[in-house]
Amino acid sequence: MADLTLTTFDWVPEMPRGFVRDLRVRWALEEAALPYRVAGVPFDDRGPAHFAHQPFGQVPWLTDGDLSIFESGAILLHLGVRSAKLMPTDPRGRSEATEWVFAALNSVEMASLPWAMSKFMGHPTDTPAWKFVDDFLKLRLKHLEPALAGREWLAGSFSVADILMSDVLRVVGQFDGLADSPACRAYVARATARPAFIKAHADQMAHFAAADRARGA
Amino acid sequence: MADLTLTTFDWVPEMPRGFVRDLRVRWALEEAALPYRVAGVPFDDRGPAHFAHQPFGQVPWLTDGDLSIFESGAILLHLGVRSAKLMPTDPRGRSEATEWVFAALNSVEMASLPWAMSKFMGHPTDTPAWKFVDDFLKLRLKHLEPALAGREWLAGSFSVADILMSDVLRVVGQFDGLADSPACRAYVARATARPAFIKAHADQMAHFAAADRARGA
Protein backbone atom coordinates (compact mmCIF):
# COMPACT_ATOMS: atom_id res chain seq x y z
CA MET A 1 0.00 0.00 0.00
CA ALA A 2 1.22 3.47 -0.86
CA ASP A 3 2.44 5.63 1.98
CA LEU A 4 -0.08 8.34 2.86
CA THR A 5 1.17 11.55 4.49
CA LEU A 6 -1.15 14.38 5.45
CA THR A 7 0.54 17.77 5.85
CA THR A 8 -0.98 20.49 8.00
CA PHE A 9 0.37 23.51 9.87
CA ASP A 10 2.79 22.82 12.71
CA TRP A 11 0.78 25.25 14.85
CA VAL A 12 -2.21 27.60 14.52
CA PRO A 13 -3.76 30.17 16.90
CA GLU A 14 -6.52 29.04 19.26
CA MET A 15 -9.47 30.19 17.14
CA PRO A 16 -9.40 27.91 14.08
CA ARG A 17 -8.50 24.78 16.06
CA GLY A 18 -11.04 22.07 15.44
CA PHE A 19 -11.81 23.68 12.06
CA VAL A 20 -8.49 23.55 10.15
CA ARG A 21 -9.21 21.69 6.93
CA ASP A 22 -6.84 18.84 7.61
CA LEU A 23 -9.76 17.64 9.72
CA ARG A 24 -11.68 16.72 6.58
CA VAL A 25 -8.83 14.51 5.41
CA ARG A 26 -8.20 12.97 8.84
CA TRP A 27 -11.92 12.17 9.03
CA ALA A 28 -11.93 10.46 5.63
CA LEU A 29 -8.79 8.47 6.45
CA GLU A 30 -10.30 7.32 9.75
CA GLU A 31 -13.58 6.31 8.07
CA ALA A 32 -11.64 4.24 5.54
CA ALA A 33 -9.20 2.90 8.15
CA LEU A 34 -6.31 3.83 5.86
CA PRO A 35 -2.98 4.13 7.70
CA TYR A 36 -1.35 7.58 7.46
CA ARG A 37 1.09 9.85 9.13
CA VAL A 38 0.79 13.58 9.81
CA ALA A 39 3.52 16.08 8.94
CA GLY A 40 3.76 19.73 10.00
CA VAL A 41 4.72 22.77 7.91
CA PRO A 42 5.46 26.17 9.48
CA PHE A 43 2.43 28.39 10.00
CA ASP A 44 4.47 31.55 10.49
CA ASP A 45 6.98 31.28 7.68
CA ARG A 46 5.61 29.73 4.48
CA GLY A 47 8.46 29.08 2.07
CA PRO A 48 8.87 27.88 -1.51
CA ALA A 49 8.67 24.21 -0.46
CA HIS A 50 5.20 24.91 0.95
CA PHE A 51 4.01 26.76 -2.17
CA ALA A 52 5.35 23.93 -4.36
CA HIS A 53 2.76 21.65 -2.72
CA GLN A 54 0.00 24.22 -2.14
CA PRO A 55 0.13 27.25 -4.46
CA PHE A 56 -2.04 29.37 -2.14
CA GLY A 57 0.11 28.76 0.95
CA GLN A 58 -2.67 26.90 2.70
CA VAL A 59 -3.13 23.43 4.16
CA PRO A 60 -3.76 20.54 3.86
CA TRP A 61 -2.09 18.53 1.19
CA LEU A 62 -1.80 14.76 0.94
CA THR A 63 0.99 12.73 -0.58
CA ASP A 64 0.06 9.27 -1.81
CA GLY A 65 3.20 7.59 -3.10
CA ASP A 66 4.61 10.08 -5.59
CA LEU A 67 1.37 12.04 -5.99
CA SER A 68 0.96 15.27 -4.01
CA ILE A 69 -2.62 16.59 -3.92
CA PHE A 70 -3.97 19.90 -2.59
CA GLU A 71 -7.55 21.14 -2.08
CA SER A 72 -9.61 19.19 0.42
CA GLY A 73 -12.23 18.44 -2.25
CA ALA A 74 -9.65 16.90 -4.59
CA ILE A 75 -8.05 14.93 -1.76
CA LEU A 76 -11.39 13.51 -0.66
CA LEU A 77 -12.37 12.49 -4.20
CA HIS A 78 -8.98 10.77 -4.51
CA LEU A 79 -9.55 8.86 -1.28
CA GLY A 80 -13.13 8.15 -2.29
CA VAL A 81 -11.89 6.15 -5.25
CA ARG A 82 -9.63 4.17 -2.92
CA SER A 83 -12.32 3.08 -0.46
CA ALA A 84 -15.94 1.99 -0.80
CA LYS A 85 -16.42 3.33 2.74
CA LEU A 86 -15.96 6.83 1.30
CA MET A 87 -17.84 6.67 -2.00
CA PRO A 88 -20.34 4.36 -3.69
CA THR A 89 -18.71 2.19 -6.37
CA ASP A 90 -21.55 2.22 -8.92
CA PRO A 91 -21.54 5.00 -11.56
CA ARG A 92 -24.75 6.61 -10.36
CA GLY A 93 -23.74 6.65 -6.69
CA ARG A 94 -20.29 7.95 -7.57
CA SER A 95 -21.79 10.71 -9.69
CA GLU A 96 -24.16 11.70 -6.87
CA ALA A 97 -21.33 11.82 -4.34
CA THR A 98 -19.24 13.96 -6.72
CA GLU A 99 -21.98 16.49 -7.42
CA TRP A 100 -22.67 16.87 -3.70
CA VAL A 101 -18.95 17.34 -3.03
CA PHE A 102 -19.07 20.34 -5.36
CA ALA A 103 -22.39 21.51 -3.92
CA ALA A 104 -20.86 21.52 -0.42
CA LEU A 105 -17.88 23.58 -1.54
CA ASN A 106 -19.11 25.73 -4.43
CA SER A 107 -22.79 26.27 -3.57
CA VAL A 108 -22.87 26.16 0.24
CA GLU A 109 -19.36 27.04 1.48
CA MET A 110 -19.10 29.87 -1.05
CA ALA A 111 -21.99 31.42 0.85
CA SER A 112 -21.11 30.23 4.36
CA LEU A 113 -17.44 31.21 4.50
CA PRO A 114 -17.93 34.96 3.89
CA TRP A 115 -20.87 34.79 6.31
CA ALA A 116 -18.86 33.07 9.06
CA MET A 117 -15.87 35.39 8.57
CA SER A 118 -18.15 38.44 8.88
CA LYS A 119 -19.61 36.99 12.06
CA PHE A 120 -16.18 36.20 13.45
CA MET A 121 -14.81 39.65 12.65
CA GLY A 122 -17.91 41.35 13.99
CA HIS A 123 -18.72 43.31 10.85
CA PRO A 124 -21.66 45.72 11.24
CA THR A 125 -24.94 44.10 10.22
CA ASP A 126 -26.77 47.23 9.07
CA THR A 127 -25.01 47.35 5.69
CA PRO A 128 -26.00 46.20 2.18
CA ALA A 129 -22.85 44.03 2.16
CA TRP A 130 -24.02 42.09 5.22
CA LYS A 131 -27.55 41.78 3.86
CA PHE A 132 -26.19 40.28 0.65
CA VAL A 133 -24.00 37.78 2.52
CA ASP A 134 -26.76 36.82 4.95
CA ASP A 135 -29.44 36.48 2.25
CA PHE A 136 -27.08 34.39 0.10
CA LEU A 137 -26.53 31.87 2.90
CA LYS A 138 -30.22 31.80 3.88
CA LEU A 139 -31.21 31.04 0.29
CA ARG A 140 -28.79 28.12 0.15
CA LEU A 141 -29.98 26.74 3.51
CA LYS A 142 -33.62 27.10 2.46
CA HIS A 143 -33.00 24.76 -0.48
CA LEU A 144 -30.66 22.43 1.38
CA GLU A 145 -33.16 21.89 4.20
CA PRO A 146 -35.70 19.76 2.24
CA ALA A 147 -32.84 17.87 0.55
CA LEU A 148 -31.43 16.86 3.94
CA ALA A 149 -34.85 16.25 5.51
CA GLY A 150 -35.49 13.55 2.92
CA ARG A 151 -32.38 11.46 3.39
CA GLU A 152 -29.86 10.24 5.94
CA TRP A 153 -26.79 10.90 3.75
CA LEU A 154 -26.40 12.83 0.50
CA ALA A 155 -25.45 10.01 -1.88
CA GLY A 156 -27.36 7.00 -0.56
CA SER A 157 -24.73 5.84 1.91
CA PHE A 158 -22.25 7.91 3.92
CA SER A 159 -19.60 9.42 1.61
CA VAL A 160 -16.95 12.11 1.29
CA ALA A 161 -19.78 14.47 0.30
CA ASP A 162 -21.14 14.17 3.86
CA ILE A 163 -17.72 14.91 5.36
CA LEU A 164 -17.53 18.13 3.37
CA MET A 165 -21.15 19.24 3.70
CA SER A 166 -21.35 18.58 7.44
CA ASP A 167 -18.00 20.28 8.04
CA VAL A 168 -19.23 23.34 6.11
CA LEU A 169 -22.52 23.44 8.03
CA ARG A 170 -20.80 22.85 11.37
CA VAL A 171 -19.14 26.28 11.08
CA VAL A 172 -22.51 27.91 10.36
CA GLY A 173 -23.92 26.21 13.43
CA GLN A 174 -21.05 27.57 15.55
CA PHE A 175 -22.34 31.08 14.81
CA ASP A 176 -25.95 30.04 15.40
CA GLY A 177 -26.84 30.13 11.72
CA LEU A 178 -28.83 26.88 11.65
CA ALA A 179 -31.61 28.03 14.00
CA ASP A 180 -34.25 27.79 11.26
CA SER A 181 -32.79 24.66 9.66
CA PRO A 182 -33.66 21.66 11.85
CA ALA A 183 -32.78 19.07 9.19
CA CYS A 184 -29.36 20.69 8.70
CA ARG A 185 -28.81 20.67 12.48
CA ALA A 186 -29.81 17.00 12.76
CA TYR A 187 -27.53 16.13 9.84
CA VAL A 188 -24.54 17.84 11.44
CA ALA A 189 -25.30 16.07 14.74
CA ARG A 190 -25.55 12.72 12.93
CA ALA A 191 -22.28 13.24 11.05
CA THR A 192 -20.25 14.54 13.98
CA ALA A 193 -21.40 11.67 16.20
CA ARG A 194 -19.46 9.23 14.01
CA PRO A 195 -16.41 7.74 15.73
CA ALA A 196 -14.17 8.76 12.81
CA PHE A 197 -15.12 12.43 13.21
CA ILE A 198 -14.60 12.29 16.96
CA LYS A 199 -11.15 10.76 16.55
CA ALA A 200 -10.16 13.16 13.75
CA HIS A 201 -11.25 16.16 15.79
CA ALA A 202 -9.45 14.96 18.94
CA ASP A 203 -6.31 14.25 16.91
CA GLN A 204 -6.29 17.74 15.41
CA MET A 205 -6.75 19.33 18.84
CA ALA A 206 -3.94 17.15 20.26
CA HIS A 207 -1.66 18.05 17.33
CA PHE A 208 -1.96 21.77 18.03
CA ALA A 209 -1.81 21.32 21.81
CA ALA A 210 1.48 19.47 21.39
CA ALA A 211 2.70 22.40 19.28
CA ASP A 212 1.90 24.79 22.14
CA ARG A 213 3.98 22.67 24.50
CA ALA A 214 6.87 22.55 22.01
CA ARG A 215 6.73 26.35 21.78
CA GLY A 216 6.67 26.61 25.58
CA ALA A 217 3.26 28.30 25.44
CA MET B 1 -22.98 7.27 -27.74
CA ALA B 2 -25.18 8.39 -24.93
CA ASP B 3 -27.44 11.35 -25.54
CA LEU B 4 -26.11 14.51 -23.87
CA THR B 5 -28.59 17.24 -22.93
CA LEU B 6 -27.52 20.47 -21.27
CA THR B 7 -30.29 22.30 -19.43
CA THR B 8 -30.13 26.03 -18.78
CA PHE B 9 -32.66 28.78 -18.18
CA ASP B 10 -35.10 29.53 -20.99
CA TRP B 11 -34.37 33.24 -20.48
CA VAL B 12 -32.33 35.48 -18.16
CA PRO B 13 -32.09 39.29 -17.82
CA GLU B 14 -29.48 41.17 -19.84
CA MET B 15 -26.81 41.38 -17.11
CA PRO B 16 -25.68 37.78 -16.60
CA ARG B 17 -25.74 36.91 -20.30
CA GLY B 18 -22.37 35.63 -21.38
CA PHE B 19 -21.71 34.51 -17.79
CA VAL B 20 -24.47 31.97 -17.05
CA ARG B 21 -22.72 28.80 -16.00
CA ASP B 22 -24.06 26.68 -18.82
CA LEU B 23 -21.23 28.41 -20.71
CA ARG B 24 -18.69 26.25 -18.88
CA VAL B 25 -20.43 23.10 -20.05
CA ARG B 26 -20.98 24.34 -23.61
CA TRP B 27 -17.28 25.21 -23.76
CA ALA B 28 -16.20 21.75 -22.59
CA LEU B 29 -18.58 20.03 -25.02
CA GLU B 30 -17.26 22.14 -27.89
CA GLU B 31 -13.63 21.43 -26.97
CA ALA B 32 -14.37 17.70 -26.93
CA ALA B 33 -16.56 17.88 -30.04
CA LEU B 34 -19.24 15.88 -28.23
CA PRO B 35 -22.71 16.25 -29.79
CA TYR B 36 -25.34 17.67 -27.42
CA ARG B 37 -28.62 19.45 -27.35
CA VAL B 38 -29.69 22.37 -25.15
CA ALA B 39 -32.95 22.41 -23.20
CA GLY B 40 -34.55 25.34 -21.41
CA VAL B 41 -36.18 25.46 -17.97
CA PRO B 42 -38.26 28.45 -16.78
CA PHE B 43 -36.26 31.23 -15.14
CA ASP B 44 -39.27 32.86 -13.54
CA ASP B 45 -41.12 29.88 -12.16
CA ARG B 46 -38.86 27.11 -10.83
CA GLY B 47 -40.93 24.07 -10.02
CA PRO B 48 -40.40 20.65 -8.41
CA ALA B 49 -39.12 19.16 -11.68
CA HIS B 50 -36.34 21.76 -11.67
CA PHE B 51 -35.40 21.12 -8.03
CA ALA B 52 -35.37 17.38 -8.68
CA HIS B 53 -32.44 17.96 -11.05
CA GLN B 54 -30.82 20.92 -9.25
CA PRO B 55 -31.62 21.13 -5.52
CA PHE B 56 -30.66 24.82 -5.33
CA GLY B 57 -32.90 25.88 -8.21
CA GLN B 58 -29.93 26.89 -10.35
CA VAL B 59 -28.55 25.87 -13.73
CA PRO B 60 -26.93 24.09 -15.46
CA TRP B 61 -27.43 20.39 -15.25
CA LEU B 62 -26.39 17.76 -17.77
CA THR B 63 -28.07 14.49 -18.55
CA ASP B 64 -25.87 11.75 -19.98
CA GLY B 65 -28.03 8.73 -20.73
CA ASP B 66 -29.83 8.04 -17.44
CA LEU B 67 -27.41 10.11 -15.32
CA SER B 68 -28.40 13.67 -14.37
CA ILE B 69 -25.56 15.75 -12.98
CA PHE B 70 -25.61 19.22 -11.40
CA GLU B 71 -22.76 21.57 -10.34
CA SER B 72 -20.53 22.79 -13.17
CA GLY B 73 -17.46 21.32 -11.44
CA ALA B 74 -19.00 17.84 -11.28
CA ILE B 75 -20.24 18.07 -14.87
CA LEU B 76 -16.81 19.07 -16.13
CA LEU B 77 -15.05 16.27 -14.24
CA HIS B 78 -17.58 13.85 -15.73
CA LEU B 79 -16.87 15.10 -19.25
CA GLY B 80 -13.14 15.14 -18.52
CA VAL B 81 -13.20 11.40 -18.03
CA ARG B 82 -14.98 11.04 -21.39
CA SER B 83 -12.45 12.98 -23.48
CA ALA B 84 -8.68 13.29 -23.47
CA LYS B 85 -9.20 16.79 -24.92
CA LEU B 86 -10.59 17.80 -21.53
CA MET B 87 -8.32 16.02 -19.07
CA PRO B 88 -4.96 14.22 -19.18
CA THR B 89 -5.36 10.44 -19.04
CA ASP B 90 -2.35 9.62 -16.84
CA PRO B 91 -2.93 9.50 -13.06
CA ARG B 92 -0.65 12.45 -12.28
CA GLY B 93 -2.14 14.69 -14.96
CA ARG B 94 -5.65 13.73 -13.94
CA SER B 95 -4.88 14.46 -10.31
CA GLU B 96 -3.43 17.87 -11.21
CA ALA B 97 -6.47 18.78 -13.30
CA THR B 98 -8.78 17.74 -10.47
CA GLU B 99 -6.98 19.76 -7.80
CA TRP B 100 -7.03 22.85 -10.03
CA VAL B 101 -10.74 22.35 -10.71
CA PHE B 102 -11.29 22.63 -6.96
CA ALA B 103 -8.81 25.50 -6.65
CA ALA B 104 -10.75 27.45 -9.29
CA LEU B 105 -14.05 26.95 -7.50
CA ASN B 106 -13.22 26.68 -3.81
CA SER B 107 -10.09 28.87 -3.50
CA VAL B 108 -10.54 31.51 -6.20
CA GLU B 109 -14.27 31.73 -6.98
CA MET B 110 -15.09 31.64 -3.26
CA ALA B 111 -13.21 34.95 -3.07
CA SER B 112 -14.15 36.37 -6.47
CA LEU B 113 -17.90 35.83 -6.43
CA PRO B 114 -18.64 37.92 -3.28
CA TRP B 115 -16.19 40.51 -4.67
CA ALA B 116 -17.88 40.68 -8.08
CA MET B 117 -21.37 40.78 -6.53
CA SER B 118 -20.32 43.68 -4.28
CA LYS B 119 -18.94 45.50 -7.31
CA PHE B 120 -22.06 44.82 -9.32
CA MET B 121 -24.38 45.95 -6.53
CA GLY B 122 -22.27 49.02 -5.83
CA HIS B 123 -21.72 48.31 -2.14
CA PRO B 124 -19.84 51.08 -0.32
CA THR B 125 -16.09 50.45 -0.27
CA ASP B 126 -15.30 52.23 3.01
CA THR B 127 -16.48 49.33 5.18
CA PRO B 128 -14.66 46.48 6.97
CA ALA B 129 -16.84 44.04 5.00
CA TRP B 130 -15.56 45.37 1.68
CA LYS B 131 -11.97 45.41 2.92
CA PHE B 132 -12.26 41.74 3.89
CA VAL B 133 -13.73 40.75 0.51
CA ASP B 134 -11.19 42.81 -1.45
CA ASP B 135 -8.19 41.59 0.60
CA PHE B 136 -9.37 37.98 0.27
CA LEU B 137 -9.44 38.18 -3.53
CA LYS B 138 -6.13 40.07 -3.72
CA LEU B 139 -4.42 37.40 -1.62
CA ARG B 140 -5.67 34.67 -3.93
CA LEU B 141 -4.59 36.54 -7.06
CA LYS B 142 -1.18 37.26 -5.53
CA HIS B 143 -0.54 33.52 -5.22
CA LEU B 144 -2.20 32.59 -8.49
CA GLU B 145 -0.11 35.08 -10.47
CA PRO B 146 3.26 33.21 -10.25
CA ALA B 147 1.49 29.87 -10.80
CA LEU B 148 0.01 31.16 -14.08
CA ALA B 149 3.18 33.02 -15.10
CA GLY B 150 5.06 29.73 -15.11
CA ARG B 151 2.79 27.69 -17.36
CA GLU B 152 0.49 27.88 -20.34
CA TRP B 153 -2.26 25.71 -18.81
CA LEU B 154 -2.82 24.51 -15.26
CA ALA B 155 -2.38 20.75 -15.69
CA GLY B 156 0.22 20.45 -18.45
CA SER B 157 -2.20 20.57 -21.37
CA PHE B 158 -5.52 22.43 -21.68
CA SER B 159 -8.15 20.85 -19.40
CA VAL B 160 -11.46 21.43 -17.67
CA ALA B 161 -9.48 23.18 -14.91
CA ASP B 162 -8.63 25.93 -17.40
CA ILE B 163 -12.27 26.30 -18.42
CA LEU B 164 -13.26 26.86 -14.81
CA MET B 165 -10.30 29.02 -13.73
CA SER B 166 -10.44 31.29 -16.76
CA ASP B 167 -14.22 31.65 -16.47
CA VAL B 168 -13.83 32.63 -12.81
CA LEU B 169 -11.08 35.15 -13.61
CA ARG B 170 -12.97 36.55 -16.59
CA VAL B 171 -15.62 37.93 -14.22
CA VAL B 172 -12.93 39.59 -12.08
CA GLY B 173 -11.49 41.16 -15.21
CA GLN B 174 -14.92 42.52 -16.17
CA PHE B 175 -14.80 44.64 -12.99
CA ASP B 176 -11.18 45.63 -13.61
CA GLY B 177 -9.85 43.40 -10.84
CA LEU B 178 -6.89 41.97 -12.79
CA ALA B 179 -5.04 45.28 -13.24
CA ASP B 180 -2.11 44.09 -11.08
CA SER B 181 -2.17 40.51 -12.38
CA PRO B 182 -0.67 40.47 -15.90
CA ALA B 183 -0.23 36.69 -15.98
CA CYS B 184 -3.88 36.20 -15.01
CA ARG B 185 -4.94 38.65 -17.72
CA ALA B 186 -2.82 36.90 -20.36
CA TYR B 187 -4.22 33.53 -19.26
CA VAL B 188 -7.82 34.72 -19.62
CA ALA B 189 -7.00 36.17 -23.05
CA ARG B 190 -5.36 32.88 -24.10
CA ALA B 191 -8.31 30.79 -22.91
CA THR B 192 -11.07 32.97 -24.32
CA ALA B 193 -9.35 33.13 -27.73
CA ARG B 194 -10.01 29.41 -28.18
CA PRO B 195 -12.61 28.67 -30.87
CA ALA B 196 -14.59 26.49 -28.45
CA PHE B 197 -15.01 29.39 -26.01
CA ILE B 198 -15.99 31.78 -28.79
CA LYS B 199 -18.63 29.37 -30.10
CA ALA B 200 -19.95 28.57 -26.61
CA HIS B 201 -20.24 32.26 -25.76
CA ALA B 202 -21.96 33.09 -29.05
CA ASP B 203 -24.35 30.16 -28.61
CA GLN B 204 -25.33 31.30 -25.11
CA MET B 205 -25.95 34.86 -26.32
CA ALA B 206 -28.02 33.55 -29.23
CA HIS B 207 -30.03 31.27 -26.91
CA PHE B 208 -31.11 34.21 -24.74
CA ALA B 209 -31.64 36.53 -27.72
CA ALA B 210 -34.03 33.95 -29.20
CA ALA B 211 -35.84 33.91 -25.87
CA ASP B 212 -36.31 37.68 -26.07
CA ARG B 213 -37.86 37.30 -29.49
CA ALA B 214 -40.16 34.53 -28.27
CA ARG B 215 -41.29 36.81 -25.43
CA GLY B 216 -41.88 39.62 -27.89
CA ALA B 217 -39.25 41.75 -26.11
Window 99-118 of A, Cβ < 8 Å to B: 99, 101-103, 105-107, 109-110, 113-114, 117-118
Q: Which of A151, A144, A112, A156 is nearest to A19 (CA)?
A: A112
According to the 3-state scheme, what is the secondary structure of A136-198? HHHHHHHHHHHHHHCCCCCECECCHHHHHHHHHHHHHHHCCCCCCCHHHHHHHHHHHCCHHHH
Q: How much is the pTM?
A: 0.97
pLDDT at B195 over 80: yes
**How many beta-carbon contacts under 8 Å exist across A and B?**
132
Q: Which of A73, A123, A127 is opposite residue B102, by nearest beta carbon?
A: A73
Rg, chain B, Cα only: 18
Q: What pLDDT is attached to residue A217?
A: 62
**Residue B163 confidence (pLDDT):** 98
Which chain A residue shows the shortest CA-CA distance from B59?
A107
Pick from A72, A68, A86: nearest CA to A196: A86
Average pLDDT over residues B132-149: 97
Between β-strands B4-9 and A61-64, what pairing exists: parallel, antiparallel or unpaired? Answer: unpaired
Among A217, A155, A210, A162, CA closest to A186: A162
Residue A99 is nearest to which of B58, B74, B101, comparing CB atoms? B74
Number of helices (H), then strands (E), in chain B: 9, 4
Domains and CATH numbers, chain B: 4-85+196-215 (3.40.30.10), 91-194 (1.20.1050.10)
Tell me what percent of chain B is helix, strand and coil, each rounded to the nearest 5. Answer: 60, 10, 30
Do B78 and B151 form a contact (C-beta atoms < 8 A)? no
pLDDT category at B85 given cuts 50, 70, 90 is very high
* Chain A residues touching residue B55 (CB < 8 angstroms): 103, 143-144, 147
Distance, in Å, from the CA atom of B61 to the CA atom of B33, rounded to the nearest integer, reads 19
Residues of B in Cβ contact (< 8 Å) with A115: none
Interchain contact, A123 vs B129, CB within 8 Å = yes
> Is residue B124 pLDDT above 80, yes or no?
yes
DSSP 8-state code for residue A35 = -
pLDDT along chain A (217 residues), means of 10: 87 96 98 97 95 97 97 98 96 97 98 95 90 96 97 97 98 97 98 98 97 85
Q: How confident is the model at residue B215 (pLDDT cuts 50, 70, 90)?
A: confident
Tell me: pLDDT of B217 over 70.
no
Q: How many residues does chain A have?
A: 217
The closest CB to that of B110, out of A51, A74, A113, belongs to A113
Three-state DSSP at B112 gives: helix
CB atoms inside a 10 Å sphere around CB A19: 15
Give the mean pLDDT of B67-72: 98
DSSP A125: S
Q: What mean pLDDT comes out for the span B74-82?
A: 97
Compute the Cα dihedral for A169, A173, A176, A180 and give only its sign: positive
- Considering only CB atoms, A128 lies closest to which of B98, B123, B147, namely B123
pLDDT in tens, B34-63: 999 999 999 999 999 999 999 999 999 999
Among A110, A130, A133, the strongest candidate for a mutation testing the B interface, having the largest count of B CBs within 10 A, is A110
The alpha-carbon gap from A213 to the nearest alpha carbon of chain B, in Å, equals 31
pLDDT at B2: 53
| A67 part of contact set with chain B, CB < 8 Å | yes
Q: Which residue has the higher pLDDT, A195 or B215?
A: A195
Residue B175 sits at the chain A interface (C-beta within 8 Å): no
Please report the pLDDT score of residue A216 as a whole number: 82
pLDDT tens digits, B92-114:
999 999 999 999 999 999 999 99
Q: Judge whether residue B26 has pLDDT over 90.
A: yes
Closest partner residue to B109 among A66, A74, A106, by Cβ? A106
Whether B203 shows a pLDDT value over 80: the answer reads yes
Which chain A residues are closer than 8 Å to B154 by Cβ?
A: none
Over chain B, what is the mean pLDDT? Answer: 96
pLDDT tier at B189, thresholds 50, 70, 90: very high
DSSP-based three-state secondary structure for A95: helix
Cα gap B185→B148, rounded to integer Å: 10
Mutate to test the interface with B, among A66, A77, A106, A159 (most CBs of B within 10 A): A106
Residues of A in contact with B120 (CB under 8 A): none
Residues 6+ apart with CB under 8 A from B53: B7, B61, B68, B70
